[in-house]
């Protein structure tokens, strides 16, 4: 790829409260699914880069966990990850759900962003426009932009793609001049093994109800590529209580089978390989408050052992 002398590159922190569509937008921008998405809040648990290299720019998006009121060490880690992304950002892309008025957590996002003291411009994206009407959107635009000074406001649907290319053009125009920071072929910073763990958790989020999806932690125990066309993956789903184990397994292993099928399909699409996936379920008491368990699941900040 030939790099033009007026190339631009930089980091774009995608921030917002849980469930507003941050990861959906990342996947849409990259035209490929690398980040897990689910209808439940707190799907994303750690920062993930999504690298978009176009002819004139490289935008390094940082998908972050939704900012919320934490009740576990895991939640504190998640909020801190989002704050780290704010520190390093050249552009802050604040996503909100345009089908709803601001929540308490949206105010928390605004506070965190203001407190980060970043010089980076804030671009507000009112997402899920497909669920709203033009009159309502005007009202939401006023409500959200009163929470934090924003340099630009876009109305988008990360799901349908409406408004996404105008938003990308705006962001590209705000990136500082500079050479690409990543190989133009690279799409994300996570290994396939880590994305596989996220896709298994995404499938668990879809299949399980109430608090249970949030109690699940995934460890990929073995990941073997077999030639160029196959992969073999062995993973463990950890739950927090003995009583949760039979629910995750389901009658006749029906639930764990469904989780496995969904996850296998996503991993096959990502890797282009035929995947053999074996899942088992174990209990690790109160792991969301256990620093060593959090490390095992990859929930640790850069530079921390």
For residue 16, the minimal CB distance to ligand GTP (Å) is: 6
Interaction between residue 134 and ligand GTP (CB under 6 A): no
Residue facing ligand GTP at closest CB distance: 66
Interaction between residue 158 and ligand GTP (CB under 6 A): yes
Rg (CA), the chain: 20
Cβ 90 vs Cβ 11: under 8 Å: yes
User: Among Mg ion, ligand GTP, none, what does residue 132 contact (CB within 5–8 Å per kind)?
Assistant: none
For residue 48, the minimal CB distance to Mg ion (Å) is: 9
Residue from 44, 79, 188, 215 binding ligand GTP (CB under 6 A): 44
Q: Which residue, 131 or 226, is less far from ligand GTP as judged by CB?
A: 131
Interaction between residue 161 and ligand GTP (CB under 6 A): no
Q: Which residue, 23 or 58, is less far from ligand GTP as judged by CB?
A: 23
Interaction between residue 66 and ligand GTP (CB under 6 A): yes
Dist CA 52 CA 34 (whole Å):
12
Interaction between residue 19 and ligand GTP (CB under 6 A): yes
User: Among Mg ion, ligand GTP, none, what does residue 9 contact (CB within 5–8 Å per kind)?
Assistant: none
Chain centroid to CA 151: how far? 24
Q: What is the largest CA-CA distance in the chain?
A: 61
Interaction between residue 23 and ligand GTP (CB under 6 A): yes
For residue 218, the minimal CB distance to Mg ion (Å) is: 16
Q: Which residue, 96 or 249, is less far from Mg ion as judged by CB?
A: 96
Residues forming contacts to ligand GTP in the complex (CB under 6 A) are 16, 18-24, 37-39, 41-44, 65-66, 127-128, 130-131, 157-159
């Amino acid at each position: 790829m030939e790099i033009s002398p007026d190339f631009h590159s930089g980091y774009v922190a995608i921030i917002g409260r849980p469930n507003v569509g941050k990861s959906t937008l990342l996947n849409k921008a990259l035209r490929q699914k690398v980040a897990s998405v689910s209808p439940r809040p707190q799907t994303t648990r750690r920062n993930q880069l999504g690298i978009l290299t176009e002819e004139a720019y490289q935008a390094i998006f940082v998908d972050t966990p939704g900012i919320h009121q934490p009740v576990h060490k895991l939640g504190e880690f998640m909020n801190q990850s989002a704050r780290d992304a704010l520190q390093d950002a050249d552009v802050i892309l604040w996503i909100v759900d345009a089908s709803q008025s601001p929540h308490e957590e949206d105010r928390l996002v605004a506070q965190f962003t203001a407190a980060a003291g970043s010089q980076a411009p804030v671009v507000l994206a009112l997402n899920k426009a497909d669920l709203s009407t033009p009159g309502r959107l005007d009202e939401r635009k006023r409500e959200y932009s009163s929470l934090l000074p924003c340099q630009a406001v876009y109305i988008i649907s990360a799901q349908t793609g409406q408004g996404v290319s105008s938003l990308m053009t705006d962001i590209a125009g705000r990136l500082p001049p500079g050479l690409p920071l990543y190989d133009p072929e690279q799409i994300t910073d996570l290994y396939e093994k880590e994305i596989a763990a996220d896709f298994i958790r995404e499938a668990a989020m879809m299949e399980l109800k109430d608090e249970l999806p949030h109690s699940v932690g995934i460890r990929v125990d073995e990941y073997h590529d077999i030639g160029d066309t196959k992969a073999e993956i062995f993973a463990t789903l950890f739950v927090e209580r003995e009583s949760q184990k039979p629910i995750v397994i389901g009658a006749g292993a029906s639930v764990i089978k469904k989780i496995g099928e969904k996850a296998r399909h996503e991993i096959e699409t990502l890797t282009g390989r035929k995947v053999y996936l074996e899942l088992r379920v174990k209990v690790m008491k109160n792991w969301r408050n256990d620093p060593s368990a959090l490390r095992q699941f990859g929930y640790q900040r850069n530079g921390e052992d």
